[in-house]
Amino acid sequence: MRSSEASRIYFDRAADQLDLSDNMRRLLLTAKREVQVQIPVEMDSGDVATFIGYRVQHNSARGPMKGGLRYHPQVDLEEVRSLAALMTWKTAVVNIPYGGAKGGISLDPSKMSPRELERITRRFVDAIHDLFGPDVDIPAPDMGTTPDVMAWIMNQYGKYHGFSPACVTGKPVEYHGIPGRDEATGRGVGSLTLKLLSRLGRKIAGTSVAIQGFGNVGSHTAKFLHDAECRIVAISDAFGGFHRTEGLDVLELFRYSNSHSGRLEGFSGGDHMTNAELLALDCDVLIPAALGGVLTQENARAVRAPIIVEAANAPIQPEADLILDELGIVVLPDILANAGGVTASWFEWVQNRQYYQWGINRVRQELDRILGEAFEQVWQLSTSRKVTPRTAAYMLGVGRVGRATVLGGIQ
């Protein structure tokens, strides 16, 4: 099942609970604007290659649209469209004044030189610079794009519109980015996991946690929970995982990964395990923080953790979601669990607009506050309406966008 079909199922469940009319459903599901542009670029070899770039601006009822820019060979309009809608619900769940958007270029960044990527990025900005900007639509990093790419976007946009650091977020800290953005998604996943444990009446110290993925999100989640005295009993990356019942040495994992090009292969501080074994590990909390769609109707019944926190986008397929619910497993959904990144992006935009700098402590404090409030609202709705936290999160997000649409008026 494609991610677009999955998010449509979750939208429909929430819309049924909210008793939304068919007209409102259609309005909320339709993108405000979809753009596809041609990007012809001269490659290092002297050949001219033509790429296709997309930007989908889904909804602006609650504010300027916000969402990442993805460089990946499988990027297409349908995927970008569904990710844009997901951003609309995500920004609404955490109640930050944004709508949702997403963009991408179909290419494999690992096969390009930095200069080629820069030319492609600048050419893409040339094609769409009139369609985005600080008050309209603010791109950010996503799969395959880095803070460097965001710096090129800001610089190229500035050639048309003057100095506008708030036109894009996720920039390098030395180039109008902010400290704390890098860790924000993982920190958010970690702090929300602690809130969930408390709500469920579980002890935090000693809680056993298995995390799939040791990239940006997985590594910062591991560090946060390790600092909170949880036991990180298993960690994996694309090449396999490691297990230690007493808890892995997370700082050693960081050191190892930093000195091995981000890979954990060969780490000697734990027993080797496969990614499939990690997902079925007997532990207190399972955190998929790598790919989408890893829990399916084939492997959902093997899950033994009573709590799953979705750090990755859509790691659980809808059929698996139903099975996990039936098994009594509590799932904290992606649109809340990994919203720390977009929340910190908002802080970057706010500071850029004010030509002011907060410092890391304020970033962390505000992040914890906003995510904490969103968690409480989702939890209350979930218990009062007797729906899963996922349906409650969608109800909150979709409901807020619907109300803003009505209050703003259609004419």
**Positions that interact with ligand NAD (CB under 6 A):** 185, 212-218, 236-238, 275, 289-292, 311-313, 338, 341
Least CB distance to ligand NAD at residue 184 (A):
7
The residue sitting closest to ligand NAD, measured at its beta carbon, is 215
- Mind spelling out the 3-state secondary structure of the chain? CCHHHHHHHHHHHHHHHHCCCHHHHHHHHCCCEEEEEEEEEECCCCCEEEEEEEEEEEECCCCCEEEEEEECCCCCHHHHHHHHHHHHHHHHHCCCCCEEEEEEECCCHHHCCHHHHHHHHHHHHHHHCCCCECCCEEEEECCCCCHHHHHHHHHHHHHHHCCCHHHCCCCCHHHCCCCCHHHHHHHHHHHHHHHHHHHCCCCCCCCEEEEECCCHHHHHHHHHHHHCCCEEEEEEECCEEEECCCCCCHHHHHHHHHCCCCCCCCCCCCEEECHHHHHCCCCCEEEECCCCCCECCCCHHHCCCCEEECCCCCCECHHHHHHHHHCCCEEECHHHHCCHHHHHHHHHHHHHHHCCCCCHHHHHHHHHHHHHHHHHHHHHHHHHHCCCHHHHHHHHHHHHHHHHHHHHCCC
- The verdict on whether 203 is a catalytic residue reads no
Least Å from the CB of residue 102 to ligand NAD: 11
Considering beta carbons, is residue 217 or 371 the nearer one to ligand NAD? 217
User: How far apart are CB 2 and ligand NAD at their closest, in Å?
Assistant: 15
Q: How far is the CB of 159 from ligand NAD (least distance, A)?
A: 28
CB of 54 to ligand NAD, least distance (A): 17
Which one, 41 or 286, has the nearer CB to ligand NAD? 286
Q: Which of 102, 171, 195, 223 is catalytic?
A: 102
Closer by beta carbon to ligand NAD, 339 or else 392: 339
By annotation, the residues acting in catalysis are: 102
